Amino acid sequence: MDLRLANVSHTYGETEVLRDINLDIPSGQIVCIVGPSGCGKSTLLRMLGGLEQPTSGEVLQLGTPLAGCLNPLTYVFQDFALLPWRSVRGNVALVLEDHGLDAAARARIIDDVLTRTKLTEFADALPKQLSGGMKQRVAIARALAVNPAVMLMDEPLSALDSQTRELLMDDLISLWTRQPFTAVYVTHNLAEAVRLGHKIVVLSRRPGQIREVVDLTTPLAERAYGDAALEAQQQHLWGLMREEAAAADAELIHV
């Protein structure tokens, strides 16, 4: 299943947030959206998953999700959004409970995703016992459990320290390499974008418009930390964003 944004524009009251966005998200790829703060990238992501409606334009699903997909458009949130009163297993179970699966099928799915995210031995821990990186792995496991057609990731690593971020990027790459998934990955961190993106969409400052779409052809598994070619790409992206970011930073906020 592919996703398409067709002529999407959005305004909050007087403020124009997004202007005429056209974008295809092809299945099996990770599309990164980068841009200066306040450029509407999170708004764009909320529209893709149906949590917000664009003022004009349409968000389209092309084709139907595969059988066995319980929640086609699934988010991974920046603040993890785990229920603190449920164990790791309970948090994953939560999203399977409304789908009429029997207990054995649920247990099978939970065991599978916990194995894939290397969380099996923490199954009974409460979120308060876990580090930030572990919490986000639980959230990723929860997202994988519903077998999504598209994962919508809203700055999933931004709340983590930089070492944990590296570890989780490696985890995401190995998850993707074993079983490619489709994802839209919003971030303000260019290093994350060039490590994880097959396609990087650069947005301008508000009102957000697409400035450039960069395609990266190096396979994910071959992109290593500190790779020279990636550095060059990152430099190029920073060149695109630098002025936008500076201008966005200097803007007065009218709230």
Using CB under 8 A, list all residues that contact other proteins: 49, 51, 70-71, 73-75, 77, 79, 81, 83-86, 94-95, 97-98, 126-128, 142, 146
Between 87 and 234, CB nearer to other proteins: 87
* Least gap, CB of 229 to other proteins (angstroms): 36
Neighbour-count burial of 222, counting CB atoms closer than 10 A to its CB (0-12 exposed, 13-18 middle, 19+ buried): exposed
Return the number of the residue (51 or 229) whose C-beta is nearest other proteins: 51
Beta carbon of residue 160, minimum distance to other proteins (angstroms, whole number): 17
Compare residues 69 and 248 and give the one whose CB is closer to other proteins: 69
**Among residues 40 and 148, whose Cβ is nearest to other proteins?**
148
Least separation in angstroms between residue 227's CB and other proteins is 34
C-beta of 85: minimal distance to other proteins in Å?
4
Cis peptide bond prior to 65, omega within 30° of 0: no
- What's the min distance (Å) between Cβ of 159 and other proteins? 12
Which CB atom, from 94 or from 245, has the smaller least distance to other proteins? 94
